[in-house]
Amino acid sequence: MGTSILNEQDYYRMVYGGWLGKNIGGTLGAPIEGVKELLNLDFYPELPDGPLENDDLDLQLVWLHALEQYGPGLTCKELGQEWVEHVFFPFDEYGYAVTNLRRGLVAPVAGWFNNPFTNCMGSPIRSEIWAMVAPGSPETAAHYAYHDAIVDHAGGEGVYGEMFFAAIESAIFLEQDRDRLIEIGLTYIPPDCRTALAVKDLLIWHKEGKSWTEARSLILLHHGDDNFTDAPQNIAFTLLGWLYGEDFEDAILKAANCGYDTDCTAATLGAILGMILGPEGLPEKWVKPVGDRVVVSPPIKGFPAPANLDELTRRTIRMGKHVLAAWDTGIMVHPELPTSWSREADGEAAVQSWWDRKVTANHYLLPQGTCEVPDLELVIDYGDKGPSIGREQSKSIEISITNNSLVVQEGNMALDLPAGWQGGSEKQIKLQPGETIHWAAEIRSSAEAAPTYDLALRWVRMHDGHKWSAQRVPFSLVAAMHWTVWGPDNEEGKNVIFAGSRMDWVDALMTSRDGVYRAKTWIQNPSKRKIRLIAAANAPVKAKLNGTSIIDCQEVLEFMPAYHRPQKDQFLELTLPAGVHELDIEVLKQGDPLEVYVLTVSTGETQTPGSYYSYIDMLFVNQ
């Protein structure tokens, strides 16, 4: 494969067009986001003076800052840190991921654990930055998209959606045939994932001559979900606009008029078409209202955001030059030579290997700080219950260590545990080059409850019978939730420990009969505060706090365990005094499997932008 040339003016034109199209589509779709009916828009529903703020672009500005701060070796670890430092959004998967990151967890575990929104659109909407800093290198763009998406969507369709779009958008620099681009994107995601199946069905319906409204109905029938942010259906709506649209305007309008996550569908398609057409190819009637400004949502803060699209484009290109060089892509950005390509855009086996990575495990490279070619690779697997532990509870942590060096590695491993805990005793190991050793470390917590627990894996290397060096890899466990539960068959309560916010009566009681299910716990609140107490359920649900009824929802509502948008009859806001408070939950199962989450988050009244965050210092314990 020879050197490929990307002319710098071509690069600028495509990146600027993509960001401009992103702003146009986001501004079109934002005011009607979440409307599930077939719409009939023919222009912006709200005529703005500049673009509307939108998380579709906001988060990518943070990722550009992350690239500038950490460089091309950026991984999910650094992106997770960016969430904690700069992103104060509570929305769906964002809220759950930030909660986990604040508790000391890292991706992919932070993006998977206790997160009911991993199949949603929060990551597919932020694919453009990775394509633009890896122009013509879809495998590189998909690599970054994977690391980005697992921070808040690990194990879900959101990961595949972002990899799909990142690959398409990067390949636009090489190839601008629509059908070929979609084909390329599909090579970067599992062929049997929901996203791939929805896309492939849409392609069939389009080829069969179905109208765009018929195709929309079929998408909802075969791939739809009640949650308007579900990724497979919205990715299909995005491509529907592309397949059926006669021009830029018609395409983004058809995508938005499908309804559901309209800002996401129109913004992503706007970015794709903006990259293909360039800014000069976008209609003036759509460009003029948004202009060239960059607007940032108030909860995104603490970093130097670009003031306009020119600055955003130039900073993107600057980092793109670094990425192309660091990844040895063979792509050169040149100020004078014309663009010429000598590479292909199909998916690579290295990308496909990520599809089956365990979301219950975190990976570490040793020595710490290593970006690639590590001497040792460490994997800490928390198991299916995740990184939580209750009081006086036993837990097995699966630890594996692989010797990637060319010499024998001899030493011992041990776990550093909180005071009063048991287990994790020292294990002697001798690793041949290429060998992997597995250790099932059994630990038991003490009776002292805390919101989070700090642990560490300690590796001491020996040489000639003496200690030579030592490394300490910190990791965290979080407090599980203690409840007493009853089912239709139980007169006496059973003390159980739930790993997270989900109330799993089936697992606890080994029954799924219809009838009344109850649960009782005590909330330890360390300080007086205003809280939003949520009992999100797909069944009639009641809640009592200290014996007083606070929730009495007698309808079956769409299940929505989001911090910022729970069902109005399934939460209450109140001022909770410091101390211990009794909480009782009751649900009526009537056929469908129960889905119930109990959450305590802040209200919308915060001193600075960034509301509805989880109170991670509140404990759920038995008396």
For the stretch 463-507, pLDDT in tens is 999 999 999 999 999 999 999 999 998 889 999 999 999 999 999
Helices (H), 433-524: 505-509
**What are the backbone dihedrals phi and psi of residue 451, each rounded to the nearest 5 degrees, phi first?**
-60, -40
Helices (H), 402-456: none
Q: How confident is the model at residue 219 (pLDDT cuts 50, 70, 90)?
A: very high
Under CATH, to which class is 360-477 assigned? mainly beta
Nearest to 587 by CA among 491, 515, 492: 515
Decide: 570 and 557 in contact? Cβ < 8 Å: yes
Average pLDDT over residues 430-454: 97
**What are the backbone dihedrals phi and psi of residue 323, each rounded to the nearest 5 degrees, phi first?**
-65, -45
The Cβ-side half-sphere exposure at 75, using a 13 Å CA radius, reads 13
Question: Which residue ranges make up the annotated binding site?
Answer: 261, 263
Q: How confident is the model at residue 65 (pLDDT cuts 50, 70, 90)?
A: very high
Encoding tokens for residue 463?
């040489």
Residue 352 has pLDDT above 90, yes or no: no
CATH number of 481-621: 2.60.120.260
Distance from C-alpha of 104 to C-alpha of 16, rounded to nearest angstrom? 37
Residue 161 CB contacts under 8 Å (≥ 6 apart), including other chains: 121, 123, 124, 149, 195, 231, 232, 235
Residue 159 has pLDDT above 70, yes or no: yes
Work out whether strand 548-553 and strand 481-486 pair parallel, antiparallel, or are unpaired: unpaired
Residue 403 has pLDDT above 90, yes or no: yes
Average pLDDT over residues 178-196: 97
Average pLDDT over residues 562-588: 98
Residue 303 has pLDDT above 80, yes or no: yes
Question: Which residue ranges make up the annotated binding site for Mg(2+)?
Answer: 261, 263
Average pLDDT over residues 449-468: 96
Residue 201 has pLDDT above 90, yes or no: yes
Q: How confident is the model at residue 346 (pLDDT cuts 50, 70, 90)?
A: low
3-state secondary structure of 132: helix
Q: Which residue's structure tokens are 């597995």?
A: 438
pLDDT of residue 180: 97
pLDDT of residue 347: 59
pLDDT of residue 348: 61
Average pLDDT over residues 123-149: 97
4-8, 347-351, 560-564: segment of lowest average pLDDT: 347-351
Average pLDDT, the chain: 96
Angstrom CA distances, 377 to 229, 255, 531, stand at 36, 44, 42
Every domain of the chain with CATH number 2.60.120.260 lies at 481-621
Residue 426 has pLDDT above 70, yes or no: yes
Every domain of the chain with CATH number 1.10.4080.10 lies at 4-189+197-352
**What are the backbone dihedrals phi and psi of residue 620, each rounded to the nearest 5 degrees, phi first?**
-110, 110
Average pLDDT over residues 376-404: 97
Homologous superfamily of the 4-189+197-352 domain (CATH): ADP-ribosylation/Crystallin J1 (1.10.4080.10)
Distance from C-alpha of 333 to C-alpha of 449, rounded to nearest angstrom? 56
Nearest to 31 by CA among 267, 283, 288, 312: 267
Q: Which residue's structure tokens are 């994790």?
A: 424
What DSSP designation does 461 have? E
Residue 249 host element (H or E): helix 248-257
